[in-house]
Structure 1
């Protein structure tokens, strides 16, 4: 009986892990458009995105953020990233320097967030 319960628990977990990996892989592809300004491990036109999930906004050393983003008080959790990625200036922080219009596909937004979460 114990093995049956353990097997059922494992069967429930494996598809979840697999789905997350697929989302992150799709997110890496969707992130291609972001690479024009963002990188991992260094600042570019945009700030370094290594460890962005869970990080306080405007906190990467050496990057010159807009006053609006510095004063936003945002922490980049999933909800804030979702709103940001769908329209940085229009939806989340008026006055940001980021001119990107945003992703309009909810699945791609979720995939990009899953990918960003893997980049620690």
Structure 2
């Protein structure tokens, strides 16, 4: 009986765990406004984001980063990306060149991170 209760509890929690991961396909759609400055092939208005997950901040070759971002010491793990996507200029690094108000929908943030991971 105890095993059945444990299995039922784990089954009930699985949808919660699945939601925390994010959906790369939905993230591609949520990433659409980002395409004005970012892509995955070359630097543009913003640096290219190919392989950004796990990369040190201000390290894409050929892009002129702000001194604030160069000095930040950030590595773009999921926690840092989440905080950055919610509000880069106001929350994570003061003095960044990125003019972006942030993405306030937590589900979309998780989806964008999943999309970025798929492009690494």
Aligned to 1:8: none
Runs of 4+ in 1 over 4 A off after TM superposition: 18-22
Alignment pair present for 1:57 and 2:72: no
Take 1:42 and 1:109, find their aligned partners in 2: how far apart are those partners?
A: 23
Aligned to 1:83: 83
Aligned residue for 1:116, secondary structure, equals helix
> How many residues are treated as equivalent by the alignment?
105
Q: Which sections of structure 2, spanning at least 5 residues, go unmatched? A: 1-10
Take 1:56 and 1:19, find their aligned partners in 2: how far apart are those partners?
A: 27
Two-structure CA RMSD over aligned residues (Å): 1.9
Aligned residue for 2:117, secondary structure, equals helix
Take 1:85 and 1:22, find their aligned partners in 2: how far apart are those partners?
A: 14
Q: Which sections of structure 1, spanning at least 5 residues, go unmatched? A: 1-11
**Does structure 1 retain, via aligned residues, the 8 Å contact 2:88–2:100?**
yes
Give the TM-score of the pair, scaled to structure 1.
0.82
Deviations 1:29-75 (A, max 9, x none): 00000000001010000001000000000001100000000000000
Aligned to 2:116: 116
